[in-house]
Structure 1
């Protein structure tokens, strides 16, 4: 369940948010949406894969944290074991919404049903005693702006991938230390052969539109699948 409200000092003057990590706080997820503008940071830690929506056929990009639903192999006791957390994860329980007026400006909303909403004196304040934004809210507002801009422009990125037919489905076999295997299915990745076969004009167009760098970052990120297997086996060995 979600309960979105426009964030304001009148209704949320005493609001506090929990900022630590934890499975009970919504961090036990297999993957999270990412936007091309953050691919450089994401690829340093996580594989970047693509998923096609079964209803509308549109693609989205995901940072992969595990190999099965609810598995986050980067989640520790109260922190992430990674220097970068994708924007769509780190902004919660805040989100971008729009006013009811057609074409209204984007607004900061908050999901009051999210487990990160603190009770009593727990958590970090969103507004100070004078009704001014705290450093937490300033940081969240900046991240929301980056995420919103990324969503707005990612459509062109996926259009470019489709134009050059650069996405292909793949199956990844996860070799477990107990001798069994687990298969990762249902995702797409960049087809490196087709990328290498693009002519100078196509590569120039991708570069001019700012798409070439995130494509390369997505390709480079797949080396993290090996590290993800290492984390998976370490978890299995711990029981």
Structure 2
């Protein structure tokens, strides 16, 4: 259900081009009210700083695999997003919080030279959000300097990278204390109470091991803010049933136990 993003490019991104004044000096960035690139995505990466806001809207889980990352679940099955229509229009019951990963797209910071730690601002040209348009925000001034819009984009991406580094430290703490386990949730439909649909393919915090931690460790995590993040994740898991109910209302719920099992292990 929550598979690791592809190693080649981050989820959502199909291609990356470095932004530069020589090639894109007269280009603009569009602001849109639809996000078609999100419509078919059921899981979006989160940073730990987003947990307090995101846990009110989404279940927060961790991807399967050796290097788990936090994910906001927008659907329980591959290709299902209950918060956006198929054309990317937010639904009436869209969440009050939009993950920073979505707001950053189609831009990101990427390392162009593997021998250097420098990061360059890049964008995905397939999104049709950046180009030689008449409308939108200019990316460079007439003097080929970064515009205010580009400067703000760069700052946002830099803050996202910093939050990503803090998220990696959070995940390392969970791994070092062996707190993550394979997750599983069984959900009953009202019309089939004896045939629960079981979802797997994600990881979650093992509450038994959490309770076994030493008091001084828990105090340390409480003081540095890590413990509230763990609880935000655990509390958010109840929202899986809300996501399931929304899928059923949209006609995108599982039709039988075999269908549910197959989708859950995707």
- TM-score, normalised to structure 1, is 0.83
Structure 1 unaligned segments of length 5 or more: list them: none
Instruction: Report if aligned partners of 2:28, 2:134 keep a CA contact under 8 Å in 1.
Output: no
Written as runs of structure 1 = structure 2, the 5 A alignment for 1:112-123 is 112-117=125-130, 120-121=133-134
Measured after TM superposition, the shift of residue 117 of structure 1 is: 4.0
Which residue number in structure 1 is paired with residue 186 of structure 2?
Answer: 173
Residues 143 and 173 (structure 1), Cα distance of their counterparts in 2 relative to 1, 3 Å cut = farther
Written as runs of structure 1 = structure 2, the 5 A alignment for 1:190-201 is 190-201=205-216
Which residue number in structure 2 is paired with residue 32 of structure 1?
Answer: 44
1:68 aligned to 2:77? Answer: yes
Please, which of 10, 24, 44 is the counterpart of residue 22 of structure 2? 10
Residues 32 and 101 (structure 1), Cα distance of their counterparts in 2 relative to 1, 3 Å cut = closer
1:51 aligned to 2:63? Answer: yes
1:79 aligned to 2:90? Answer: yes
Instruction: Report if aligned partners of 1:125, 1:134 keep a CA contact under 8 Å in 2.
Output: no
Instruction: Report if aligned partners of 1:18, 1:118 keep a CA contact under 8 Å in 2.
Output: no
Which residue number in structure 2 is paired with residue 189 of structure 1?
Answer: 204
Please, which of 1, 10, 20 is the counterpart of residue 33 of structure 2? 20
Residues 237 and 61 (structure 1), Cα distance of their counterparts in 2 relative to 1, 3 Å cut = closer
- TM-score, normalised to structure 2, is 0.75
Please, which of 195, 201, 204 is the counterpart of residue 219 of structure 2? 204
Residues 121 and 231 (structure 1), Cα distance of their counterparts in 2 relative to 1, 3 Å cut = farther
Residues 128 and 175 (structure 1), Cα distance of their counterparts in 2 relative to 1, 3 Å cut = farther
Please, which of 122, 125, 128 is the counterpart of residue 137 of structure 2? 125
Which residue number in structure 1 is paired with residue 8 of structure 2?
Answer: none
Written as runs of structure 1 = structure 2, the 5 A alignment for 1:91-106 is 91-100=104-113, 102-106=115-119
Provide the alpha-carbon RMSD of the alignment.
Answer: 2.8
Which residue number in structure 2 is paired with residue 236 of structure 1?
Answer: 251
